[in-house]
Amino acid sequence: MPRVLSKEEVEDFREKLTEAATRLFAERGQDGFTLRELASEVGVSPMTPYRYFKDKDEILAAVRARAFDRFAEKLENAFGKKGTPVDRANAAAQAYVEFALQETASYRLIFDIWQPNENDYPDLVRAGIRARATMIQHIPGLLEAGVLQGDPVLIGHVFWSALHGAVMLRLAGKLSPDCDFQKIIDETMRALSVGFAAGR
């Protein structure tokens, strides 16, 4: 009987391909990223990836899931540092912005790509839920510390979307040249903190 790929071999190849795809996608951008170049990059013929992935979309989903996870890790690390709840929340916010600016391609993969059938990719769904939880997790500490008050899920989403909006406009080059990006971030965080402050 012929050689049969073990579960492990399949997983290894998927891993290798996803890694190369992540790099290629960052280099070439959404449009310039082709299966043919990806295949040659890992040293196989253009059709070989089809043994391991259904199509290009599924490869993209794997790349996205991986990006989600790296993002969540970075935020969890920042949040895991010692300090007051406020310090830790600030560290998480800073890590968020850093990731977006330094790993722009991955950030876009995470939040700015609309795959028609996202729910068909379980890994992607899982990674997405994890990343969202990560972004909300630092709020309860602020409530318990008596810094903020309100619904933590709602507050988390407000902070998150404000951060996301500033980052996206920055990445799209839409901000006015005479308006400093970091100042927008700082003032957004300050104003929202005042708006949700406890005891008013």
Q: Of DNA, a second copy, none, which one does residue 7 interact with (CB within 5 to 8 Å by kind)?
A: none
Nearest CB to DNA, comparing residues 28 and 70: 28
CB of 46 to DNA, least distance (A): 4
Per-residue H/E/C for 119-169: HHCHHHHHHHHHHHHHHHCCHHHHHHCCCECCCHHHHHHHHHHHHHHHHHH
Say whether residue 70 binds a second copy (CB under 8 A): no
Residues with Cβ within 8 Å of residue 69, at least 6 apart in sequence: 127, 130, 131
Mask: binding to a second copy, 96-125, rule CB under 8 A, as x and -?
---------------xxxx---x-------
Q: Of a second copy, DNA, none, which one does residue 86 interact with (CB within 5 to 8 Å by kind)?
A: none
Say whether residue 129 binds DNA (CB under 7 A): no
Q: Of DNA, a second copy, none, which one does residue 143 interact with (CB within 5 to 8 Å by kind)?
A: none
Cα separations (Å) of 19 from 26, 97, 130, 132? 11, 23, 20, 23
H-state helical runs in 81-121: 85-102, 104-111
Listed ranges 37-45, 125-133, 140-148, 184-192: which one lies at the site for DNA (CB under 7 A): 37-45
Nearest-angstrom CA–CA distance, 97 and 141: 21
Out of 29, 30, 51, 180, the residue judged to bind DNA by CB under 7 A: 51
Q: Number of residues in contact with a second copy, rule: CB under 8 A?
A: 43
Say whether residue 50 binds a second copy (CB under 8 A): no
List the beta bridge partners of residue 163.
none
Nearest-angstrom CA–CA distance, 134 and 118: 20
Phi/psi at 180 (5° precision): -70, 135
Binding site for DNA (CB under 7 A): 1-5, 33-37, 44-48, 50-51, 55-57
Binding footprint of a second copy on the chain (CB under 8 A) = 111-114, 118, 128, 132, 136, 150, 153-155, 157-158, 160-169, 171-176, 178-179, 183-184, 187-188, 190-196
